[in-house]
Chain A
Amino acid sequence: RKEVEQDPGPFNVPEGATVAFNCTYSNSASQSFFWYRQDCRKEPKLLMSVYSSGNEDGRFTAQLNRASQYISLLIRDSKLSDSATYLCVVIRTGNQFYFGTGTSLTVIP
């Protein structure tokens, strides 16, 4: 079983829509969680951390459900510029980073 699993999509949504991605992780000892964004042919860049209490950054909301071992990313009022691949990252002890394969989002005018 993979450490981290994501629905690869693609998600094609109209501008202004709300879209949500989920990511599940297999190891309950996982400690830290992040969402990265990767534009086409570019490197991944940190989008936001994910905290147990949930956190929001503008139109983006990230949540962690430890009981069910998944993290989610909600994007409200989608913009064309949100088109990218979104990677979830899970960290265990000892610098063990695990990346999901990414979910592709295209926002359509």
Chain B
Amino acid sequence: DVKVTQSSRYLVKRTGEKVFLECVQDMDHENMFWYRQDPGLGLRLIYFSYDVKMKEKGDIPEGYSVSREKKERFSLILESASTNQTSMYLCASSDTSGSWQETQYFGPGTRLLVL
């Protein structure tokens, strides 16, 4: 079974703090993704990575950065947290295996509250 883990289930931070969200997958997947999910807006892609040290902006990258130093780990960084970044953050991974049609597997999510 694919396993995607995220470092925290719940996190409370203050405005202006730097926040690190870690995601690890154990299936040697090439692709990893960070989403945020908000009521009525669904899942929105922040960043994705298709290889180590590679990253691509998603639909809403502003205020975020990412790091992928190892294949299994994809970190999301909020450089200076703001209240509008309060959300559920979901990490996902998928395999390429010669085809981009593989589906995504999600971690359990991190509920971030920025005060």
Contact = CB atoms under 8 A, between A and B. Distances in A.
Interface residues of A, number: 21
A102 to B, nearest CB: 6
Contacts of A46: 103-105
B interface, size bucket: 20 to 34
A45, A87, A99 interface centre (most CB from chain B within 10 Å):
A99
Contact of B100 (A42, A49, A87, A93): A93
B42 A102 contact: yes
B66 interface: no
B73 to A, nearest CB: 18
14 contacts: A43-B90, A43-B107, A45-B106, A46-B104, A46-B105, A87-B42, A87-B43, A89-B104, A91-B101, A95-B31, A95-B100, A97-B33, A97-B104, A100-B42
Interface of A: 8, 31-32, 34, 42-46, 49, 87, 89, 91, 93-95, 97, 99-102
Given A49-B103, A97-B33, 14 more contacts: A42-B108, A42-B109, A43-B107, A43-B108, A44-B43, A46-B105, A89-B103, A91-B101, A95-B31, A95-B48, A99-B35, A99-B42, A99-B43, A102-B42
